[in-house]
Amino acid sequence: MTGTNSVELVECPRDAMQGLHHYIPAEMKVEYLNQLLRAGFNTLDFGSFVSPKAIPQLRDTAEVLAKLDRGASSTSLLAIVANERGAKEALSFSEIDFLGFPFSISETFQRRNTNSSIAESLITVQNMQNLCLQHNRQLVVYISMAFGNPYNDPWEPALALEWSTRIAEMGVQTIALADTVGIASESVVSALFKELIPSLPKVKVGAHLHCTPYNWEGKLQAAWDAGCRRFDSAIRGFGGCPMAEDELVGNLATENLLAFLDKKEVSHSVNREEFTKSWNMAAAVFSPEAATS
């Protein structure tokens, strides 16, 4: 089997929670996130510092963070931010290792998601990168709508490559191509990663795939064959972006990703026993019966 450092796994409970119509109580979030920490993912995308009006389900991120038990876990914590205010708030917590910023190459979606233009967001990326360097943290930039958009905004693979290159030139070391509404084809996934990975040798290029139970394997295989080794996923495929469309397309299911890696005999950091506990717990956590006002 290949070594554990050959693949990097990012579990995304934040992405799974943000689109729910019901609110998961803070104590239940804490219990679930602590279980995921025991499972041993490389990174946990655990919460966000954004407007509670925009994403009310995650209004308790600071409260939840204070109760996480990192113990002997080597899992890094990643928080999503949408502006410099959110970045500064996130950086005030020493427990957070990574800040994630969604940079859309669709003008419509960037305004919907962060209330700013693409040009303004590029300045935000530079300012966030400077803040991260000052605080000894790292910025992860998600290229939203990297594979197309539902708004008829201009799109072609060259746009994703152009913007990713400009962001890399700012010193950002991790860039993830996001299939935000799940419309990427296998051929486009393959083409983008094959072009981007060798052209940005100093950047870790990841995949944040939204997909259905019927097309996940083709997209994952295309990214893998093109050299991608950093993957975002969510247990049971829960999730989606509520700022993009009303009809959410779920995340790549973590259990499918692990099965894919097992089939290829690629070792990883996840403890199977603890993962099974997490998988079982997820059904209750994301059930509407768990809701409170």
Q: Which two tokens stand for residue 233?
A: 């996923």
Q: Which two tokens stand for residue 267?
A: 């070792």
For residues 216-234, give the mean pLDDT: 97
pLDDT band at 293 (very low <50, low <70, confident <90, very high): very low
pLDDT band at 286 (very low <50, low <70, confident <90, very high): confident
What is the tally of structural domains in the chain?
A: 1
Q: Which two tokens stand for residue 54?
A: 């925009």
In the prediction, which pLDDT does 22 show? 84
Ramachandran bin of 125, using left for φ above 0, alpha for ψ from -120 to 50, beta for the remaining angles: alpha
Residue 292, in any domain of the structure = no
For residues 180-197, give the mean pLDDT: 95
- Comparing CA positions, the residue from 221, 281, 270, 196 lying closest to residue 38 is 270
Task: Indicate if the pLDDT at residue 16 is higher than 60.
Answer: yes
- Reported in sequence order, the residue ranges of 67-192 that DSSP labels E, i.e. its strands, are 76-81, 98-104, 138-144, 174-179
Q: Which domain holds residue 127?
A: 4-287
In the prediction, which pLDDT does 290 show? 53
Q: What is the pLDDT of residues 132-168, one digit of tens each?
A: 999 999 999 999 999 999 899 999 999 999 999 999 9
Q: Which two tokens stand for residue 270?
A: 């996840």
CB 184 within 8 A of CB 209: yes
In the prediction, which pLDDT does 249 show? 60
Q: What's this model's pTM, rounded to 2 decimal places? A: 0.93
CATH of the domain at 270: 3.20.20.70
In the prediction, which pLDDT does 91 show? 98
Q: How far is CA 172 from the centre of its chain?
A: 16
Residue 165, in any domain of the structure = yes
In the prediction, which pLDDT does 52 show? 87
pLDDT band at 242 (very low <50, low <70, confident <90, very high): very low
Residue 15, in any domain of the structure = yes
Instruction: Count other C-beta atoms under 10 Å from residue 271's C-beta.
Output: 14
Q: What is the pLDDT of residues 90-99, one digit of tens each?
A: 999 999 999 9
Residue 293, in any domain of the structure = no
Report which DSSP code applies to 206: E
